[in-house]
Amino acid sequence: MVDPYDILSVSELTKQIKQTLEEVFPFIAVQGEISNYKAHISGHWYFNLKDADSVISCTMWKGMNNNVFFTPQDGMKVTVSGRITVYPPRGNYQFDVRSMKPAGAGELNTAFEVLKKKLSSEGLFDAKFKKPIPSFAKRIGVVTAINGAALRDMISILQRRFPLVELVIAPAKVQGSGAAESIVDALNILNKKNDIDIIIVARGGGSIEDLWAFNEEIVARAIFSSKIPVISGVGHEVDTTISDYVADIRASTPSVAMEIATKDKEEIFAFINEFSYNSARYIDEFVSLNRSIIQNYLDSYGFRMPLDLLRRKSQQIDGTIYKLTGNFDKLMLKLKNKVLFLTKSLDAHDITKMLKKGFVLVRQDSKFITRAGNFLANRETILKFYDDEIKINSKNSN
């Protein structure tokens, strides 16, 4: 009992109030509506919890809020447990929250609809932003729990349908506290690669609490920002998450997501066989159909006329060549006869042959004397016989 006549300092009074409150309310559960929620950079959460008549300040430290599977939102009704304490620097009493959960499934549904409406108004669900899924993916990135049934099912589907595809697993926590951040990290890792064709974000079925990580805003924005097409395969057919709305394609289950991402090898083989058969048949029909048409074209006057003209011109050329050859032969014969005649003429006038017959050439002053009147008796004279020459001096002529 405090003595009413004792004079206390502010700190002492605050300390006694703090001790009293913590002793009277060591651990309690309180239900109320969240307002003024703030996530500090340190990881601590600060918010108010209110009802129609009162408000109490609340603090949830980083080590405690790691266990909360959802992100608190203003207006969400929650049940928190913890203890009452006093913040001495301000003298305010506050609730030190140790655990938090939605007041009911309806609260999560309300939060779901609020976020859905918000993102829809921003255009994150618009069809114009949906990226096409490649027809033949070579590498598929998968964001899911490494030891989950969803991954085993997807691997089984892949091996059955198109085992040539390579899976790149980006393990992620898909349930509970920190799951949303883990999913975002995995998406970012895959988007840093240049050889991923499709990303599948997957998880098996569960309650709304189990699937809540895929209803978080940070996950929705990470999927929307992905440069690689994303298929959402979360839960069972009846389950719907925010990720389904943001993804480029929504699959009802993880197995269906893998079926969408891959081609069935049996269908490919059937297509190839059918294509080969139909192509060969089509080619045969095409050739048969057009053979007669082409032959008609070839037999038509339009095609024959140039050929006939070419043949006539070729025949004319042959005639011209024949004429030229005949004229050339005649000319050559004429020239040959002329050469023969000239050869005989030259032979008949050959000096050597004439000298051999007994004729003599008379030469004076380097000139042949062909007439007696041109002979000079007092000049040196050379008589050329067939076999020799005789020189006669002028003195011998006397």
What are 27-44's pLDDT values in tens digits? 888 999 999 999 889 889
CATH superfamily for domain 10-103: Nucleic acid-binding proteins (2.40.50.140)
Residue 369 pLDDT > 60: yes
Distance from chain centroid for Cα 61: 48
Residue 149 pLDDT > 60: yes
Domain boundaries defined on the chain: 10-103, 112-126+134-263, 352-397
Residue 304 pLDDT > 70: no
| Nearest CA among 172, 179, 169 for reference residue 145 | 172
Determine the Cα–Cα distance for residues 49 and 312; give it in Å rounded to an integer: 111
In this prediction the pTM is 0.59
Q: At what angle do helices 301-348 and 265-299 cross, to 10 degrees?
A: 60
Determine the Cα–Cα distance for residues 49 and 308; give it in Å rounded to an integer: 106
Residue 168 pLDDT > 80: yes
Rounded to an integer, the average pLDDT of 241-261 is: 95
Residue 27 burial (C-beta neighbours within 10 Å; 0-12, 13-18, 19+)? exposed
Q: Which fold has domain 112-126+134-263?
A: Rossmann fold (3.40.50)
> In this structure, what is the dihedral angle of CA atoms 389, 391, 396, 398, given to the nearest 10 degrees?
80
Instruction: Provide the pLDDT for residue 180.
Output: 92
pLDDT tens digits, one per residue of 171-202: 999 998 889 999 999 999 999 999 999 999 99
Residue 240 pLDDT > 70: yes
Residue 397 pLDDT > 70: no
Rounded to an integer, the average pLDDT of 68-92 is: 85
Distance from chain centroid for Cα 360: 110
Instruction: Provide the pLDDT for residue 398.
Output: 43
Instruction: Provide the pLDDT for residue 394.
Output: 66
Report the range of poorest mean pLDDT among 194-203, 234-243, 245-254, 313-322. 313-322
